Amino acid sequence: MLVVVVLFATVLLRAVIVTTFVMLPKQRTCPRCGAQLALIRHTLLRVLVPAVEHRWCLDCGWSGVVRLRMPSTHP
CB atoms closer than 10 angstroms to residue 29 = 14
> 7-24: per-residue pLDDT in tens?
999 999 999 888 888 887
pLDDT number for residue 5: 93
* Alpha carbon distance, N-terminus to C-terminus of the chain: 53
d(CA 45, CA 15): 21
Q: What is the pLDDT of residues 22-36, one digit of tens each?
A: 887 777 888 888 889
Provide Rg for the chain, Cα atoms. 16
